[in-house]
Structure 1
Amino acid sequence: MTEGIATPGAGWRRADGWTSQKRKKNGRRSGRRAAGEVAMVDDAEFTSYYDRPIIKPPVWKTPDVPLYLFLGGAAGTSSVLGAMADLTGRPALTKVARVTAGVGSMASVGWLIHDLGRPERFLHMLRVFKPTSPLSVGTYILSPFSAATAATAAVELLGWFPRLKRFGGIVAAVFGGPMATYTAVLLSNTAVPSWHEFHGKLPFVFAGSAMAAGGGICMAFTPVDEAGPARKMAVAGAAIELTVVHQVENDDSIVSEPYHEGRAGKLMRAARTCTAAGAGLTVVAGRNRLGAIASGTLLAAGSLLTRFGVFDAGMASARDPKYTVVPQRERMAAREAGKAVRDGETRSVVR
């Protein structure tokens, strides 16, 4: 007789290493025990081999990647704001937005390279362009965007080549929108449950968060008489972010749990508080200099916390096997139910 051995998370296994999952793969029903196997504990609702993660969590590090997400998003929307301000005759807002975009883009590249470990790894990504890969497409968004924003910020500060400034600002604005949202597509294109499940919502979360950050930062450093577009962008972005984050956190799927549990939950709650307070203060006191500084700071902090919260939620879902197993079983059950309905309809037609 083969001796049964208790294992955490797996329920029971045989001494030769076969678990209940392996029996299922070989066509045996979970309710039947093979000869010589002894049940040590009740069957769990979900199982994984030795309770280990089923997917491998991304190797991206904190704080490198969340800071890259935040700075890139703020730079992207600031570049759009700078182009709009330039075309509408707001020189102070134009300068602040261009400098914010330039500094933010270069800082985001720095954090990305730091996460990669060696600078040449970033250059290696430029050797191939693959339209089906969000990472490859994102590399070709980040590269021209950072070059255009850095050059535009430099000539803005030096006062050289006014026509080149406008051209560089327009180029940066063209890539600014994709820069603010492509990272959400990149995250949701992975197998990480709490990112992949919300592939239709994360781009809106990142877009709203980037608008709140870019508008808030520019509003804080711009004279109030020229900061009207920055205030509007910040409030609109905060409204989008709060609305879509609420939908993500209250989704019926189990993979929404990491967004309101553990460290990720604390970060998301803090982000929601800062963003809501910043938006409210912008409406009430945004035309006051101190109010603009305070509200801009709160909005930028809320955006930063959102990026950290989304990142942590995804990593938590990758480490816990239930966020992979339970949705898979729900999809299998839904397919089987749909097949049963179709078979019933077919039989009724034949009769």
Structure 2
Amino acid sequence: MVPRAEFESYYGRPVIKAPAWAARDIAGYFFLGGLAGAGSVLAAGAHLTGRGTTATAMKVSSLAAVSLSAAALINDLGRPDRFANMLRVFKPTSPMSVGSWLLSLYGPTAGAAAASAVTGRLPRVGAAATGAAAFLGPAVAAYTGVLAADTAVPAWHGAHRELPHLFTASATAAAAGMALVVGPTCENAPARWAGGLAALAETAVTEAAERRLGTVAETYREGRAGVLLRTARALTVAGALGGAVLGGRCRAGAALSGLALLTGSACTRFGIFAAGIASAEDPRYTVVPQRERVERRQQGAGASGA
């Protein structure tokens, strides 16, 4: 019998080209966009329930986050006109095209909501803008997960079903953390609940993604990505527990819990980015899963034929 062949690539070269994205720009863009989108949802809830201080602070933070997110994206593109060129057409099948239009629509609504809240002028316009930003916010928070999963990068594409949900849960944790930092303790009950639910969802979705990825899940556990994602999990859980126990009574405890949630969310985005780059640079994570899928199909076809 001929022994089973071991995997080798052509001179050890990667099979696919790793994204040329800068981690600071694109992972930062993922994090800030999620913070902005989920923050607008919390801001609208605070606005509707009479939590005025939290509502104003969250509207301002969402505007700042989406502005920095757009700046990070444009910096990675190299020239501002490249972003404008993406608005020349609308292609529903392209996550990049849809995301560009989402940012273009969401940014002005977030700006109008923040301006009205800070100045106290045009309250009806401000309320309408708050509602529009909250309507667009979930899509802004989730679409970057779709964008990453639409690539050929094994650690991202292999988790294409879970990645948008993971990004949404991480964004919710970040927004809850921001609300704990900037809002008074008498107004932060919804943020404490949101932080706890986001921590549970993020943990569950991450485990589901790793199960689906199989061998490629090693990139989520090893190296720089492994350190970042373990840190993210610890900080997110600690922030959620701290918010639940201390957030309603102690201003310092609420702020520290919020900072833990924010930092954990940032570590999640940077960790997933690092896992994607690692999986693209190692040809084993491209070829081995393909061979495993072929073998499973062949076994299934043989079983059905028998």
TM-score by length of 1: 0.84
Q: Tell me the equivalent position of 2:132.
A: 171
Q: Identity of aligned pairs, percent?
A: 47
Counterpart in the other structure of 1:154: 115
The total of aligned residue pairs comes to 304
Contact 1:106 1:150 in 2 (8 A): no
Inter-partner Cα distance in structure 2 for 1:214 and 1:123: 28
Unaligned runs of 5+ in 1: 1-30, 32-41, 345-351
Any conservation in 2 of the 1:90–1:226 contact (CA below 8 Å)?
yes
Which of 73, 93, 111 lines up with 2:54 in the alignment? 93
| CA distance, structure 1, for counterparts of residue 203 and residue 109 of structure 2 | 31
Q: 1:343: which partner in 2?
A: 305
What is the DSSP-based 3-state SS (H/G/I as helix, E as strand, rest coil) of the residue aligned with 2:50?
coil
Letter in 2 for 1:89: G
CA apart distance, 1:204: 1.5
State the 1:43 CA deviation: 8.1
What is the rounded CA distance, in whole Å, between the counterparts of 2:160 and 2:227 in structure 1? 22
**Distance (Å, rounded) in 1 between the aligned partners of 2:121 and 2:167:** 34
In proportion to residue count, which structure has more helix? 2
Is 1:228 the equivalent of 2:162? no
Equivalent residue number for residue 288 of structure 2: 326
Q: Equivalent residue for 2:83?
A: 122
**Amino acid aligned to 1:305:** C
Return the letter of the residue paired with 2:65.
Answer: G
Q: Pick one of 229, 247, 260 that aligns with 1:298.
A: 260
Give the whole-Å Cα distance in 2 for the aligned partners of 1:44 and 1:307. Answer: 37
Q: Which residue of 1 aligns with 2:8?
A: 47
Rounded to whole Å, the distance in 2 between the matches of 1:339 and 1:67 is 45
The alpha-carbon distance between structure 1 residues 44 and 154, as it changes in their structure 2 partners (threshold 3 A), is farther
Give 5+ residue unaligned stretches, structure 2: none
1:180 aligns with 2:180: no
Contact kept, 8 Å, 2:159 with 2:212, in 1: the verdict is: no
CA contact (8 A) 1:105 1:150 kept: no
- Output one character per residue of 1:191-237: Cα deviation in whole Å (capped at 9) or x when no partner: 11010111111112111110110011111111111111122112211
Written as runs of structure 1 = structure 2, the 5 A alignment for 1:49-128 is: 49-128=10-89
For 1:294 and 1:114, the matched residues in 2 are separated by: 31
Contact 2:219 2:226 in 1 (8 A): yes
1:12-23 map, 5 Å: none
Provide the C-alpha distance between the structure 2 equivalents of 1:86 and 1:310, rounded to a whole number of angstroms: 33
Is contact 2:159–2:213 with CA below 8 Å preserved after alignment?
Answer: no
Greater shift, 251-260 or 286-295, is seen at: 251-260
**Partner Cα distance (1:99, 1:235) in 2:** 23
Instruction: Name the aligned partner's letter for residue 259 of structure 2.
Output: T
The Cα shift of 1:151 comes to 2.3
C-alpha distance in 2 between matches for 1:109 and 1:169: 20
Counting only pairs closer than 5 Å after superposition, residues 119-268 of structure 1 correspond to structure 2 as: 119-251=80-212, 253-268=214-229
Checking the alignment, whether the CA contact within 8 Å between 2:36 and 2:66 is kept in structure 1 is yes
SS of aligned partner of 1:225: helix
- 1 CA distance for matches of 2:175 and 2:49? 18
Q: How far 1:342 sits from its partner (Å)?
A: 2.4
Alpha-carbon deviation of 1:341?
A: 1.7
Quote the offset at 1:159 in angstroms. Answer: 2.0
**Aligned AA (1:55):** I
Q: Report which structure shows greater RCO (CA 8 Å, sep ≥6).
A: 2
> Structure 2 vs 1, CA of residues 250 and 331 (structure 1 numbering), >3 Å: closer, same or farther?
closer
Following TM superposition, by how much is the alpha carbon of 1:44 offset from its aligned partner in structure 2, in angstroms?
A: 5.6
Tell me which residue corresponds to 1:16.
none
State the alpha-carbon separation in 2 of the partners of residues 263 and 341 from structure 1: 42
Retained in 2: the 8 A contact 1:100–1:218?
A: no
Q: State the shift of 1:249 in Å.
A: 3.6
Instruction: Quote the Cα distance in structure 2 between the aligned partners of 1:199 and 1:295.
Output: 30
CA contact (8 A) 2:158 2:213 kept: no
CA distance in 2, matches of 1:251, 1:335: 16
**Contact 2:151–2:157 (Cα < 8 Å) also in 1:** yes
Aligned residues of 2:193 and 2:244 also touching (Cα < 8 A): no
> CA separation in 1, counterparts of 2:138 and 2:272?
20
The answer to whether the 8 A contact 1:249-1:260 is kept is no
Question: Quick one: which amino acid aligns to residue 145 of structure 2?
Answer: A
Q: Secondary structure at the match of 1:97?
A: helix
Structure 1 consecutive aligned stretches of length 4 or more whose deviation exceeds 6 Å: none
Counterpart Cα distance in 1 of 2:236 and 2:210: 16
Rounded to whole Å, the distance in 1 between the matches of 2:303 and 2:5 is 29
